[in-house]
Amino acid sequence: MERVTLGKTGITVNKNGFGALPIQRISTEDAVKLARKAYDAGITFFDTARFYTDSEEKLGEAFEGMREKVYIATKTAAANADEFWEQLGISLHNLRTDYIDIYQFHNPAFCPKPGDGTGLYEAMLEAKAQGKIRHIGITNHRLAVADEAIESGLYETLQFPFCYLATDKDIAIVENCKKNNLGFIAMKGLSGGLITNSAAAYAFMAQNFPKYVSSS
């Protein structure tokens, strides 16, 4: 299976990642089995979020004792610095780890930056300095916010919807990430269930786009 490097993070993983939103719908036992089966098949990138109910806890149980063998990305929907630190603490506890490989702002309505009054980006920098996170990322569904994040130079990864329904503007996002050495993480490869032909969806993803990881 093809391996890719997520831009300036230097993280090199299987092009297929494990999006852990759906495991909140199954038992802990089944979720642990599924995550470990994915690992046994060569997948080492696992993406979750603080607000995917118990998804973090299930990944934490799945990889306890083998944390260094996988890369874990999670997300915060914090609106201010106090919420940021609270959510980060919960995520670290749930994931049974003392660090997160990629910590991402979860679909904010704006692009967090130093001096914007929220304290969010400053908190990210402090968490990174403390070793609690290793790389700073952002997820979004808005072209304008995604473009601003790329051009800002503040982020190491961008997670954005990408599938065979992608427009030229969506594809330009991927190209711009490559230009700026930003790791691109594709989400919603089946467009949230709108696409039912998984073979066609995968064939599109396998085309010669700039290298990225799919977390679908």
Q: Can you tell me the distance from the alpha carbon of 153 to that of 180, in angstroms, rounded to the nearest whole number?
A: 8
Domain harbouring 171, CATH code:
3.20.20.100
pLDDT confidence of residue 213:
59
- The reply to whether 212 belongs to the active site is no
Q: What are the tens digits of pLDDT across the range 76-130?
A: 999 999 999 999 999 999 999 999 999 999 999 999 999 999 999 999 999 999 9
> Which has more confidence, 164 or 139?
139
**Domain membership flag for residue 76:** yes
* Structural domain count of the chain: 1
Residue-number span of the structural domain to which 156 is assigned: 3-210
Q: What percent of the chain has pLDDT over 70?
A: 95
Closest CA to 179 of 203, 153, 204: 153
Does residue 8 lie in a domain region?
A: yes
Cα separation of 138 and 23, whole Å?
A: 22
- 215, part of any domain: no
Kindly tell me if the per-residue pLDDT of 164 is higher than 80.
Answer: yes
Residue 203 lies in a domain: yes
Catalytic residue among 39, 52, 155, 164: 52
What distances in angstroms separate CA 69 from CA 44, 51, 52, one per listed residue?
7, 24, 23
Q: In 3D, which of 107, 169, 105 has the Cα closest to residue 140?
A: 107
Write the pLDDT tens digit of every residue in 167-207: 999 999 999 999 999 999 999 877 777 778 888 887 887 77
